[in-house]
Structure 1
Amino acid sequence: MQCTLTDDLTAVLKPNEDLRLHRLIKLLTETGRPESIYTYMRPGTKARQLLEMIGNRNLALTHEAFDELPTSTAAEHLRALLIHHRTMPERGNENLARFEQWITARVASLPTDGTSHIVELFARWRHLKRIRDKAADPETNHSTAISAAKQEITEAGKLLLWLKETHDIGAEKLQQKHIDDYLSSGPSTRKHIRNFVRWLNSQPNSRTHGLDTPFRKAQANPMITDMQRTELVRNCLEHQQVAQSTRLAGLILLLWAHPLNKIVLLRREHLITAPDGMRIKLGATPAAVPTALTELFWQQLQNPENSNTTNAGTDWLFPGTRAGQHLHPDTLAGRLKVLGIDPQRARNATLRSLTQEVDGRTLMDLLGYSPGIIAQHASRAAAPMADYIDLKRSAPQIAENP
């Protein structure tokens, strides 16, 4: 099959003297699952069309050329593949680059009566600058931050469109009564205008001062019982028909309350092996992995899913289907449902249990949580330890359910 695949790729890509294409063919044919490449490049697919464009020299191996293509999963998958295997150069944080493109497209879709200008300023100075500053931090899940930023930018635009349509005014004449009316007459997603309104207040020469939106506090702290949590741990260990990566991620959530957007950021180096056992580094101090679980961790280290296809050679503990990238938190959340795991309820239950058993400062070191989060969950769990009181006094007030 490998020889046939080599011939087919050569016919499509027409490498001739282009060493980059020869390298790409070699990498694709050496994959552990050549049948997946056949499926990927079968005639009629978008991926096949892109490969043919490269072969006909209608698509250059540059980011500028790929940026000009219509947005598609196939194009981004191919771009990631080319970058991961060094056939195309990196351009820094790819999520950040796509976010900048999204901002440009979003602003272009808004009216030029001042609406697009204000939204662009908000997008670039409130969000893009902040995300750029954090782009070098490997512990930050940029996809999560970017998703939240997109929602706030989108809702800011909707507010301004509503103002114009309903009251024929722009942002400079926004008043508190308009905000109250807007929030009371629409879906709950409108609450995401809060940061935009506060940003308007802070602008030089702004005519809006003291405007705000009520912060929606969680009315409940959903969680499962200890018995249910124990049953879910058993599911992760015994349901062999479920992918090992899903079962392992479920255990990390159920035992250490590590949130999904951080679980997917774990790298192979976060698992530490030593003569006295295995440890996992979630915070400043590595946590011991129970002996009964080490076999599952070893299996994931030795054979992570997606590593036998286009995502070979990655350091991610949970590789995604796109080359060089980790699994997306939303994808992981969907997979955990097979095991009956609701991530928020499971995380809350785990934190409740841990705060009753371990002192606050140790938990901060082991789990990487802030004092405020630990103090809040300890208070809900009625943890009797005096250390939690000190944490609560020193922690900033947290307005929303963590």
Structure 2
Amino acid sequence: MCGPCAGHDDPYACPRCSNPRSYIVRGLCDRCALHDRLAELFDDTSAGPEDQYARMRTALAECDQPATALNWVRGSHSAALLRGLLADGQPLTHEDLDTMASASSRGGARTVDYLRTLLLAYQILPARDEVPARVERHLARVTARHPEHALLLRAYVRWSLLPRTRRRKHRDHASANRLRWAQNRINAAAAFLTAMHTTGLTLAEVTQHGVDQWLTEGRSTRYDLRDFLIWAHRRGHAGDLAVPVRPRPDPVAMDDDSHWEILHQCLADTALPLDVRASGALLYLFGLELTRIVALPADAVSVRGSDTVLVLDRVPIHLPSPLARLLTELTNQPPPPGWIANHPGRWLFPSTEPGCHLTGGGLGRRLAAHGIPNRPARAAALVQLAQDMPPAVLAPMLGLHTNTLVKWRRRAATDWTAYLEARQSEPAG
């Protein structure tokens, strides 16, 4: 609560306390105005500790940025949605929010999802994997536009995409990656079925020529059709139609000197922000994608005996002391400032949004602002690791598929062969 009453004669002071008056609500300071708004918002709920919203109300009232929290309570769509839900007087569930999101526009669904992150952060709702629910919501939108293909698309998603989406959680903690992976495949399947339908063909009548022509007439994302056609052929819905793996440019790795110089800078340069140093070190040592780095939970770093270990997949990695100190300092760092800062974070790289981590794009821009390249560094790190360790050993450490690491090992062998040939072609001097 606000401090003791004082300064009532001061026209610029809050009449309840000595704090300056708010620019948002006239007459009171931000803290007092926030208390009044919270009392209105949670008026229909009980005041006891068993109240479903007691933790959220207390945390908002005590946050270190009352003006920001006050703005949210007064003017945000998610707060208005919460106000309406509280007026019903019924305990809130994930299923209630799922129903609301499915019946809303894209903007309305985003409001529901943001409110859900708040309720999860304050433990009003139990934690769950949100990706399958969002995949089903995306499927509902697609089938609403293409009802003639709804039966086939629903079967594909239910029996193929959703089970693998759930399994991928153990390998890819970044929800955005898994969601995009599923959405792209649904979109490609729907677009292909629609294109064939306009030519008067059913899926069983499509030929390889039709597939090849459709692939060449659009963007490279059409190659995501491969997954759907493999499933359709196995279920007897289509012939044996081939879609090549999407072509990708060969990654260009940075030179070793630059790679080790920037890695040393991340480990030793205290002038850099701590999160930049830690994420850069993980990138340059282990070749992790930025979406994997930002989705690392705080408990991925732990102490076992006298060693500090990092668990990326199944095998704990014993960290060298400079990186161990860096990640330990990061885990002990207070959460970023904001109106939800008093919520204990569960990510190594938390964002200012409740219960969320940074995005891969945001981290990439942050690294680039400090002169730390991303993709060339990842290529250099994976080439080096592939030279030093067999794929079967490296895969359970990094959480990558063995086939992926086999390709990097071949790339490392190719680079080494090219290096030897270049040295042999140099004139003796």
Instruction: Give 3-state SS (helix, strand or coil) of 1:273's partner.
Output: strand
Q: Output the CA distance in 2 between the equivalents of 1:282 and 1:133.
A: 16
Give the SS at the match of 2:75.
Answer: coil
- Decide which of 383, 387, 396 is 1:352's aligned counterpart: 383
For residue 53 of structure 2, give the secondary structure of its aligned residue in structure 1. helix
Q: Are residue 121 (structure 1) and residue 155 (structure 2) matched?
A: yes
Where in structure 2 are the equivalents of 1:307-346 lying within 5 Å?
A: 309-310=339-340, 312-346=343-377
Query: What is the CA–CA distance in structure 2 between the aligned matches of 1:364 and 1:195, rounded to whole Å?
Result: 23
Pair 1:115–1:138, CA change in 2 (3 A): closer
Distance 1:17 1:275, change over 3 A: closer
Please list the CA deviations of residues 228-270 of structure 1 after superposition, one character each: whole Å capped at 9, or x if unmatched.
3234335545776765324311211111222334323322222
Q: Greater shift after overlay, 247-256 or 218-227?
A: 218-227
Give the counterpart letter for 1:213 in structure 2: V
1:307 and 1:314 in contact (8 A); partners too: no
Which residue in the other structure is 2:3 paired with?
none
1:79 maps to what in 2? 116
TM-score (norm 1): 0.80
Q: Which residue of 1 aligns with 2:194?
A: 161
Partner of 2:413: 382
- Bigger shift: residues 217-226 or 50-59: 50-59
1:228 aligns with 2:263: no
Post-superposition offset of 1:151: 0.3
Q: Which residue of 2 aligns with 1:212?
A: 242
Calculate the aligned-residue CA RMSD, in Å: 3.3
Query: Which residue in 1 is equivalent to 2:312?
Result: 282
Contact 1:304 1:319 (C-alpha < 8 Å) held by counterparts: no
Structure 1, residues 56-101: CA drift from partner, whole Å, max 9, x if none? 44997333442315334343222122133232345x3222222222
Query: 1:397 — aligned with what?
Result: none
Q: CA deviation at 1:116?
A: 2.5
Which residue identity does 1:327 align to in structure 2?
L
- Structure 1 residues 118-127 or 216-225, which shifts more? 216-225
Q: Which residue of 2 aligns with 1:395?
A: none
Which residue of structure 2 aligns with residue 105 of structure 1?
141
Residues 382 and 300 of structure 1: is their aligned pair in 2 closer, same or farther, counting only changes over 3 Å?
A: same
Q: Which runs of 5+ in 1 are unaligned?
A: 386-402
Match for 1:131 among 151, 165, 169?
Answer: 165
User: For this pair of structures, how many residues does the alignment match?
Assistant: 377
Q: What residue number does 2:225 align with?
A: 193
Identical-pair percentage: 24
Show the counterpart of 2:302. Answer: 272
The answer to whether residue 214 in structure 2 is matched with residue 182 in structure 1 is yes
Is the 1:279–1:288 Cα contact (8 Å) retained in structure 2? yes
Whole-angstrom CA distance in 1 between matches of 2:190 and 2:77: 33
**Aligned residue in 1 for 2:54:** 22
Kindly provide the amino acid, as one letter, of the partner of residue 264 in structure 1.
V
The one of 281, 284, 287 equivalent to 1:251 is 281
- The alpha carbon displacement at 1:304 in A equals 5.0
Cα gap change, 1:239/1:103 in structure 2, threshold over 3 Å: closer, same or farther? farther
Letter in 1 for 2:140: T
- Distance of 1:241 and 1:47 partners within structure 2: 39
Match of 1:7 among 26, 30, 36: 36
Contact 1:59 1:65 in 2 (8 A): no
Q: Cα distance, 1:153 vs. partner?
A: 0.7
Shift in alpha-carbon separation, 1:309–1:177, aligned structure 2, 3 A: same
Check the 8 A contact 1:13/1:51 in 2, yes or no: no
Cα deviations by residue, 1:108-166 (Å, 9 ceiling, x for unpaired): 121x3x3222222222222013224555x47654442221111011011111221223x
- In structure 1, give the amino acid aligned to 2:151: H
CA distance in 2, matches of 1:230, 1:261: 22
Question: Structure 1: how far apart are the matches of 2:35 and 2:183?
Answer: 42
Contact 2:266 2:278 in 1 (8 A): yes
Aligned to 1:396: none
> How far apart are 1:291 and its partner, in Å?
3.4
Q: 1:159 to 1:381 in 2, by over 3 A?
A: same
Which one-letter code corresponds to 1:76 in the other structure?
Answer: D
Normalising by structure 2, we get a TM-score of: 0.75
> Structure 2 vs 1, CA of residues 371 and 197 (structure 1 numbering), >3 Å: closer, same or farther?
closer
In the TM superposition, residue 26 of structure 1 has moved relative to its aligned partner by 0.7
**What is the alpha-carbon distance in structure 1 between the residues aligned to residue 393 and residue 126 of structure 2?**
43
Deviations 1:35-72 (A, max 9, x none): 4423433x333234234324544997333442315334
CA gap 1:360/1:98 in 2 versus in 1, 3 angstroms: closer
What secondary structure sits across from 2:189 in the alignment?
Answer: helix
Q: 1:316 to 1:211 in 2, by over 3 A?
A: same
Counterpart code for 1:228: S
Name the CA distance, whole Å, in 2 between partners of 1:365 and 1:132.
19
The aligned counterpart of 1:148 is 181
Q: Any conservation in 2 of the 1:254–1:350 contact (CA below 8 Å)?
A: yes
Partner of 1:393: none
Matched-pair contact (CA < 8 Å) for 1:360–1:374: yes
